[in-house]
A and B are shown apart, each in its own frame.
Chain A
C-alpha cells in the first residue's frame, strides 16, 4: 500500500494525508483509497501467481521433469491459473485504475454506492483467504477450468475450498460492476454526455455489463460442482445420465466473456495513453465506443469455441467458429484507430506510450493467433497444446498486464502526486517486452509442433525451445520487479508532479495531485469532447518547446 507522502513537501490536504490512522484506511469509503487497498492486494496475488509460474518454468528446463512430481506440477499450474485469473487479472484494471479514475473522469465525488465499494474489497479478500487456504492445506490439481467429472468425483484435492473462494470472489466482481454501471449512468457531471465520456470509462462500462451478466453463471456452476462433490448428488454425473459437457457449456459461458473482462479495460487504458502521448484526438471515437460494446456483446456468443473437440455438434462448432471470427472486427477497429491516432501526432516516447505500443504489437499477435484457433480444422491440431497457452498469454500478459503497467505509470503522478524515474522506467518497459517475447514466443512453435499443455515431461526434441522460454522468465521477472521497486521508491521520494504533468485532457487532470478527498471542490461543467488536444494552446504552437525532448 502506498503510504502518504511527506506532508511538509505537499502543502495541500489530499486523500492520502487527510486522515492517517490504520482504521481510516480499512474503513474508508473513498474510492481512491479503496483503489489502493486493491492495488496492495492484487500485487500480493500477482507475486504469488508469478512464483508458481517461475517454478513451472524451472521444472520445464529438463524433459524428464525431475524437480516436482506430476501432482505437484498439476497443483502449480492450477494455483497459477486460479490466482492470476480471478485474483489478479480480473480485478487489476477495473478495481485499481477503474475505482480510482471513474468518478474523477466523469466529474463525480465518489461512486454511487461508496459503502458497497468497500464491501467489495472485503468480499474479495475473503475469497482470497479461501483460495490461499486451499493452496496452503494441499492445493488443487484440476486446472483453473475445474472440468467435471475430474473435479467433482476423482480429484483428491481441495476443490471445494477453492470453489468457495472463487464463488465469493465473484460477488466482489458483481458489486464492482453494479457500482460502475450505476455510477456512470447517474453521476456524470453536467455536460458530460455519453459521447463525451473518456474511452476508458466506456470500456469499463462494457466490462461491467459482463461482470454482472456472466459472473453469476460461474457462481451457480461452481456451486453445482461443490454440491456434486460434497453430497454425491451428481448433476454432471454420467452414471445417472448427467452430462459433463453441460459443465463446460456453463463454465465457458462465464469464462469466455471473462477474457473480455480482462482485455476490454486494457483497451480503454491504451486509448487514453495513445491520445495523451500522440497529442491527438482519438481517431473515430464513436467507432471505438461501439467496438467496446460490440466486443462485450459478441463475447457472450462464442463460448463454444473452447469445445470444438469436446464432442459438441459440428454445426454448433461451425456457428461458434463464425461468431468467433466476428470478434476480430471490433478488435481490429480498435487497433486501426489507435494507429490512425498516432498518425501525424506529435509523439513523445514516454514510458506509458512504450507500454501502449508494446500492447498493440503483442495484442495483434495474440489476436491473429486467436483467429487461427477459431478455425475448426486448425484448432483440432493445436487444441490443448502450448499454442493455446502462448495465444492467451499474448492477450492476457502481453495485452492486459502491459496496459495495466502502462496505466499505472501514466496515472502514477495523479495517484501519488510524484513522478517516477523516467529513464529507468523506459528500460523496464523494454526489458519487459524482451522478456515477454523470449518467454512466450517459443511456446507458439512448441505448440504447433505438438507439445501438449499441462505436462511436465516431454520428448527431448522440445528441450531447446523450452530452455529459451525458461531463460526469458527471469528477464520478464526483472521487468515486473523493477517497477515495483522504483514506483515504491518514487511514491515517497519522487519529484513533485503537479496537477497535470502530461498536459493531458480529462477531468482527472483538472484536480490537484494527489486529489482531495472528494475530488472536486466544485463539480465541473463539461463543454468539450474528451480528447480535445486540438483545442489546447500547444496546438497553436505556443508551448511547443516544452514537448521537444
Chain B
C-alpha cells in the first residue's frame, strides 16, 4: 500500500476517516493557539524589558555565541524538513521511509539539545546564570541579568517543548516499528508534525531576539 493514502482506525464518536482527521488536526491547531499565548507572555516580558533596558540587552546579546545559534537554526530547520517528509510518508503508508525519517528527525532534535546544553554549560562558567552568582561588566548589569533571565526561561521552555516532541517521536516511532504492518496512524504523525513545526517556528523568533539584536 505504498501509493494510496493510509487511513487511521476510527475512534468513537467518529464514523468517517476524513471527519476524524479534520477534527484531530483542528484540535491540534487550537492547542497550538494556546501555545502561542503561553510563549506570548514571555515575548511580552521580553518586549517590555528590551524597551526599558535596551542598552543592557545589546551588550548582553553581543556576548552570545552567535555561531552556535546559527548552527542550531540550521539543525532545527533540517529536522523540520525531515519531519514534514515523515508526515507525508505516514500518509502514504510508507513505513520504511517513515521510520528512517523519524530517526533522522530525532537525532537532529537531540543534537539541538546537545548544542544548547553546551551553551548553558559555558554560561555557568562565565557567571552568566542569573541569581546570586551572576556577574556581568556593563553599563546596566541588572538589565543584562534580565536579558539572561529571559534567555534561560525562553530557551528553557523551548527546550522543554523539544524534549516532549522527542519523547513523542520516540514513542510513536517505536510503537509503529513493533505494531503490525497494516496499522498505520497517519493522523497521529500529522498532529505530531504540526507540533514539531510550531517548535521550529518558536525558535525562529528566539534566535534573532537572543543572538542578533545588537549592532556589530
Give me the interface of A with B, judged by CB distance under 8 Å.
Answer: 29, 108-114, 174, 177-179, 181-182, 185-187, 212-217, 219-221, 224, 227, 231-235, 239-243, 246, 249-250, 253, 518
CA distance A316 to B116 in the complex (A): 40
CA distance A178 to B37 in the complex (A): 14
What are 16 residue pairs bridging A and B, where the CB atoms are less than 8 Å apart in the complex?
A: A29-B12, A109-B13, A114-B12, A178-B34, A181-B30, A182-B26, A185-B26, A216-B37, A220-B42, A224-B45, A233-B149, A234-B130, A241-B53, A241-B56, A243-B49, A250-B45
Q: Give the shortest distance, in Å, between B22 (CB) and chain A (any CB).
A: 7
CB pair B52 A186 closer than 8 Å: no
Provide the residues of chain B in CB contact with A221, threshold 8 Å.
Answer: 41
Provide the residues of chain A in CB contact with B140, threshold 8 Å.
Answer: 241
Give me the interface of B with A, judged by CB distance under 8 Å.
Answer: 12-13, 19, 22-23, 26-27, 30-31, 33-35, 37-42, 44-45, 48-49, 52-53, 56, 130-132, 140-143, 145-146, 149-150, 152-153, 157
CB pair B48 A246 closer than 8 Å: yes
CA distance A214 to B157 in the complex (A): 18
Chain B, Cβ-Cβ closest to A182: B27
CA distance A457 to B120 in the complex (A): 51
CA distance A31 to B124 in the complex (A): 50
Chain A, Cβ-Cβ closest to B22: A186
CB pair B19 A186 closer than 8 Å: yes
**Contact A112 B27, CB 8 Å, known A217-B40, A235-B146:** yes
**Contact A110 B12, CB 8 Å, known A216-B41, A224-B45, A232-B132:** yes
CA distance A527 to B45 in the complex (A): 51
Provide the residues of chain A in CB contact with B131, threshold 8 Å.
Answer: 231-233
Q: How many A-B residue pairs have CB under 8 A?
A: 113
**Majority SS of interface residues in chain B?**
helix
CA distance A235 to B152 in the complex (A): 11
Provide the residues of chain B in CB contact with A227, threshold 8 Å.
Answer: 153
**Contact A216 B130, CB 8 Å, known A182-B26, A187-B13:** no
Choice from A216, A224, A231, A239 contacting B34 with Cβ under 8 Å: A216
**Contact A241 B40, CB 8 Å, known A114-B13, A185-B26:** no
CA distance A181 to B37 in the complex (A): 17
Chain B, Cβ-Cβ closest to A239: B142
- What are the nearest 9 A-B pairs in CB distance? A240-B142, A220-B41, A216-B38, A233-B130, A241-B142, A216-B37, A109-B13, A186-B23, A216-B34
Provide the residues of chain A in CB contact with B27, threshold 8 Å.
Answer: 112-113, 178-179, 182
CA distance A322 to B52 in the complex (A): 28
Provide the residues of chain A in CB contact with B34, threshold 8 Å.
Answer: 174, 178, 212-213, 215-216
Provide the residues of chain B in CB contact with A253, threshold 8 Å.
Answer: 41
CB pair B42 A242 closer than 8 Å: no
CB pair A213 B37 closer than 8 Å: yes
Q: 12 additional contacts, CB 8 Å, given A213-B37, A243-B52?
A: A109-B13, A110-B12, A174-B34, A185-B26, A212-B33, A216-B37, A217-B38, A220-B40, A224-B45, A234-B149, A235-B45, A241-B56
Provide the residues of chain B in CB contact with A219, threshold 8 Å.
Answer: 38
Provide the residues of chain B in CB contact with A231, threshold 8 Å.
Answer: 130-131
CB pair B149 A217 closer than 8 Å: no
